[in-house]
Every structure is written in C-alpha cells, then in structure tokens.
Structure 1
Amino acid sequence: MKILVTGGAGYIGSITDKLLKREGHETVVFDNLKYGHKESVTGKLVVGDLLNTEDLGKLKNEKFDVVIHFAAYALAGESMKHPSDYIKNNILGGLNLLDFMKEEGVKSIVFSSTCAIYGAPNSLPVSENSEKNPGSVYGESKLAFEKMLYWYDRIYGIKHMNLRYFNAAGAALDGSLGEDHDPETHLIPRAIKAALGQLEFELYGRDYDTPDGTVIRDYIHVEDLASAHLLAIEKLNETKKSDSYNLGVGRGYSNLEVIGMVKKVSGVDFPIKFAERREG
C-alpha cells in the first residue's frame, strides 16, 4: 500500500514509518520539522505544514491508499498557555488534511488520538465508551478532530480509526530511533537524563489521590503502538467501517514507581525536587 504519514519525522511517527517500510509498504512522510527530525526519515520526505494548503499541494496525484495522521501539537500544559495555537494546528490543520483527502479520493485515515479526551475518569478501567471530558485544550482539540472524522465519514464516506494512546514509552528495539524532544517533558527520558547528571529532576504534584500521591499512568511501548497502526489499517480494509480503540496495557504505574525503577536500573539515586501540579 502507499501511505501518507503526517508527522512522520516525530517520535511515534518515525518508528511507525520504519515499521511500515519493513512490512513492504511505500510511505511518504509529510512534516514541518518543527518538532520532527529530518534524519529520522529514511524514505521520501515532503517538508510542509498542514496549515498551508500550498504545501499540501505538493502531495497531489500521489494516489495514497491511506493516511496515518500523527502531525499535532501534543503538550497538555502548553495547550493551556497557548490555546489558539493548538486549535489552529490540531483542528484547522486536520481539516485541511481531510479536504485534501476528499479532493484526492483517499478514503481511509488512521488518527493519532489520545486518552486525554477522557480527562480524569470517574471509574476504571477506561473504555472507548467512557465519558469524554478533556481537561486541556490539547485533549479538546483531539476530541474535536474525532468529531470532524465522524462527519467526514457520514458525508463523504472517509473511514477512520481513532487510536487513543495512553503514554508511549521506549524506543525502536534496534536503538535507531527514540525520544528526542526539545524541551523534553516526558517522565522516563527526563528521569534517565537525571540519572546521567544532565538535568535537575522536577516532579510536578504529590497531592493526587493515589497511594504515593503522584500521578498514575498507563505506559505502552512505542513499537507496540506502531504495530497497532498496521492492525488498524488491516481492520479498515477488512470491515470498511470506522471505529475507535484505546491503546494501553491496562495497568498503571505512579511517577514515583517509574522513577524508582530508573534509579534501580541505573544505580543512581538522583534527587527529586517536588513542584506544584502543572495545569492540563
């Protein structure tokens, strides 16, 4: 299959793109490289922004079979400080992509959604039918795009798979690709950097209603996440029906548990500076 991968120079996108190629698919990565890395893409890369329809024009007549849509701003805390940026990029950029698909006759899309659409759940486990109550503009922007996908299916027949990620972790097993954010906000790479003496470790919030007072998160390995996108494409091809899936492992680990494991594996008992909760 020929697959358009938006945001394919980023963390999850680049690892998924690599897996797609390994499975024999032809891919074209479309990325503005604001957060992505050119060196992470080994095949065709088109540098462009979804907010610029002229950039999308570079992809005309490629005859894609399916789109995997990763491209988005993805920091919940930042979205509360710069809401308009998230609304423009994640919603309006996504709308431009859908209109491009409509014009080009592309009838399938796999969407990189998020568990942030649920907000703070009232009960566990969280199912695909749980109440949607985003606690950040980021989560709201992803939920808004899911709703747009619903309407583009109903009106234009563009089928979709919403993959609602919990927390991606890890790297490509061959060590070729992994997390490389600037600034780095994710817990595990920050803890590793602290163990290496590269930063002072700050932990935000220790007053949550959990056994140790820190946030509990469900982590899924990034290669498992990448594999789920291939399964989503297979499911779309098989059923020709839109659907949504949560992607996690069903077990949570608190921030202090994760930090404790990094300390154990590294053998470095680095100090932790506790700070107030971050909004979002």
Structure 2
Amino acid sequence: MPMQVLITGANGYLGSQLLFYFAKQFPEWHLHALFRQGAKLNRLDWVQDQCQLHSLDSDPALLADLIHQIKPDVIVHTACSYGRKHESAIDVLQANVVFGARLLDALLALKRPVTFLNTGSALEPKVSVYALTKSQFSDYGRMIGSQAEYLQFLNISLQHMYGAGDDESKFPTRMVRMLLNNLSEIELTEGLQRRDFIHIEDVASAYAFAIVHRDQFKKTESIDLGSGNAPTIREFVQLAKKLTGAASELKFGCIPMRPDEPALCIADTTRLNELGWAPQFTLESGLKQMIEQERTQ
C-alpha cells in the first residue's frame, strides 16, 4: 500500500511547496492536502491532479472522521496563524494550539503507527503571540508523543525560509520586491541582527528527508532546520540589492528594533548533517533563483 501523507495548511506557501516537492520526488506517495473551507487554492493549481484535496470547517467531529478515513502514515503540520491579518490572540491560539491538539487526538484514536512532523518556530516565545503559541504546541506534542504508544512527534524548528512566491508579510519577499521595483528609498533597522536564511527547496528536501528517515529519529525529537549560517540583515539586504541591480538607497537605522528582538537566530544542523542531509543553496545562489523567478511572476 502506498504511504499516506497528509499536509495541513496545504494552501499556504510552505504547505504548497512541500506538496509540489513531494509529488515530483516521491510519486509513489499518496498525498492529501488539507485546508480551511473557503481558502484560496491558487497555489495548488499545478498539483491538484497529484493529490487529494480536503477542506474542513472548525467542527472537530469532521476532522476526526477525515483522519479515520485517510489513516495517514505521516502528517506534515504546516497550518498556522501568524497574527498578521488582524486576528485576535484567541484566533491565533485556536489555529496554532487547539487545531493541532485536535489532530493529535484524532490520530491517537486510530491506534496505529503515525509520524507527526510539526512545523515549529525558532523564535523565542516572548517575541509574539505567534511564537508563544507555536512553542506551546511543540511542548504539548512532545508530551503527548512521549506518552502515546503509536505516535512519533518530530518538531521541526524552522529558521527563516525564503523563496519566490511567498507572502509580502515575510521580510525576504517584501525586501526583494521593493528592490525589484527600484524604490528610491527603503527604510530599515540598523540591520545588525543575524538570521539563518534557508531556501524553500532546501526546506522541502529536509522535510522529505525526515519522512524517509523517520525510523532513525527518536519517538519525540526536535530537529533544527536552517542553513547553519547567519548573515546580518544588513548583509542580506545589501546582497539582494546587488543581485537585483536596484539603485534604491538603503536607509539603515531609520526604523527602531522591535522589543525583545533576538540578536542571533541560527540552526544547529548537526543532527540532520550526521544522517546525510545538507542544504544545496548558498544565500547568493538561493537569492539569485528567487529574484529570477520573482521577475517572471
């Protein structure tokens, strides 16, 4: 029987990119795409014939029925709320904690082996409601995974992904598009904070690697995912400006740093490297590809 792989938040950037990568690299997998009822599906246009689409409202009974019907071997959980679209703190809590808890509850009822690959956040919980709720669910999943007989809970602590076609609420996308539009001035912070930027194709390959090698991970484990390098924001923007050929004036220091802004975010990729995974993109090669693709969109 083909492996059943369910991706939540499949209409989002990460979920849709994972679907595309899995469909291309692992055609033997039976893919299921889960999204909220009424969600826009434009990102799934090119992969709809290679997966089964499932839309759900907030009824927990319907979610349990769907899980019972699919009987997934692997769930890749990417659904979340960043809180950037005027959602209340309660809405973010519901999306980032309650929905995931209901998923786990439905899986436990199956009483069969399943791997839950959770997309966590590398941000400190104090940074935002998003970061706090992501941390809370990661802790909850590890606790449930350690106690449940059939559940493996792997938490992907994901650093700053970037790639063409992402939402402009994300810093790399917003910056590249402003430079491609050759804005006369771009106001920025001092840009001294260091961030681990990882290209979306490297993210997708790492998720697939974790699925294929899931037997080599513990029953509950946290996996750092990033490039393992952390240039400053200033270096990222300056490189993007050079690669786009923009004449924009970069006005560093015009915007104050956010409260509790971490000085350094970087992944320890030792665990994945030891098992045989490594990123294929440098920051320059990844930005070059992103810029080329953004120019044509």
Shared fold, TM over 0.5: yes
**Root-mean-square deviation (Å):** 2.7
The structural deviation recorded for 1:195 is 2.3
Pair 1:64 & 2:72 matched: yes
2:8 to 1, 6, 9: 6
Pair 1:228 & 2:206 matched: yes
The structural deviation recorded for 1:202 is 5.1
Contact 2:158/2:224 (CA < 8 Å) preserved in 1? Answer: yes
Tell me the amino acid that sits aligned with residue 100 of structure 1: A
Taking the aligned partners of 1:199 and 1:58, their CA distance within structure 2 comes to 48
Contact 2:67/2:107 (CA < 8 Å) preserved in 1? Answer: no
| TM-score in terms of structure 2 length | 0.74
| TM-score in terms of structure 1 length | 0.78
Taking the aligned partners of 1:215 and 1:203, their CA distance within structure 2 comes to 16
Q: Which residue of 2 aligns with 1:16?
A: 18
2:153 to 160, 164, 177: 160
Taking the aligned partners of 2:41 and 2:140, their CA distance within structure 1 comes to 29
Cα distance, 1:152–1:36 mapped onto 2, change above 3 Å: farther
SS of 1:268's partner is coil
Query: Where does 1:45-124 land on structure 2 (aligned, <5 Å)?
Result: 45-49=53-57, 51-56=58-63, 57-74=65-82, 78=84, 82-105=88-111, 107-116=114-123, 119=124
Taking the aligned partners of 1:150 and 1:200, their CA distance within structure 2 comes to 48
Taking the aligned partners of 2:102 and 2:180, their CA distance within structure 1 comes to 43
Taking the aligned partners of 1:188 and 1:149, their CA distance within structure 2 comes to 30
- Of the structure 1 ranges 78-87 and 233-242, higher mean CA displacement relative to structure 2 is found in 78-87
The structural deviation recorded for 1:272 is 4.0
Tell me the amino acid that sits aligned with residue 245 of structure 2: G
Pair 1:192 & 2:176 matched: yes
Cα distance, 1:39–1:191 mapped onto 2, change above 3 Å: closer
SS of 2:120's partner is strand
Taking the aligned partners of 2:182 and 2:130, their CA distance within structure 1 comes to 29
Taking the aligned partners of 1:53 and 1:165, their CA distance within structure 2 comes to 28
Taking the aligned partners of 2:183 and 2:40, their CA distance within structure 1 comes to 22
Contact 1:8/1:36 (CA < 8 Å) preserved in 2? Answer: no
The structural deviation recorded for 1:81 is 7.9
Q: Which residue of 2 aligns with 1:127?
A: none
Taking the aligned partners of 1:35 and 1:260, their CA distance within structure 2 comes to 36
2:197 to 210, 216, 219: 219
Tell me the amino acid that sits aligned with residue 223 of structure 1: E
Deviations 1:78-136 (CA, angstroms, capped at 9, x unpaired): 499832222121011111111111123352100111111xx2xxxxxxxxxxxxx5422
SS of 1:269's partner is coil
Contact 1:215/1:255 (CA < 8 Å) preserved in 2? Answer: yes
SS of 1:60's partner is helix
Contact 1:80/1:136 (CA < 8 Å) preserved in 2? Answer: no
Taking the aligned partners of 2:122 and 2:208, their CA distance within structure 1 comes to 20
What are the ranges of 5 or more consecutive residues in structure 1 without an aligned counterpart?
A: 120-132, 172-177, 207-212
SS of 1:61's partner is helix
- Of the structure 1 ranges 13-22 and 89-98, higher mean CA displacement relative to structure 2 is found in 13-22
Pair 1:140 & 2:118 matched: no
Contact 1:80/1:137 (CA < 8 Å) preserved in 2? Answer: no
Cα distance, 1:25–1:270 mapped onto 2, change above 3 Å: same
Taking the aligned partners of 1:200 and 1:2, their CA distance within structure 2 comes to 50
- Of the structure 1 ranges 215-224 and 82-91, higher mean CA displacement relative to structure 2 is found in 82-91
What are the ranges of 5 or more consecutive residues in structure 2 without an aligned counterpart?
A: 261-297
The structural deviation recorded for 1:225 is 0.8
Cα distance, 1:205–1:195 mapped onto 2, change above 3 Å: closer
The number of residue pairs the alignment matches comes to 247
Tell me the amino acid that sits aligned with residue 70 of structure 1: T
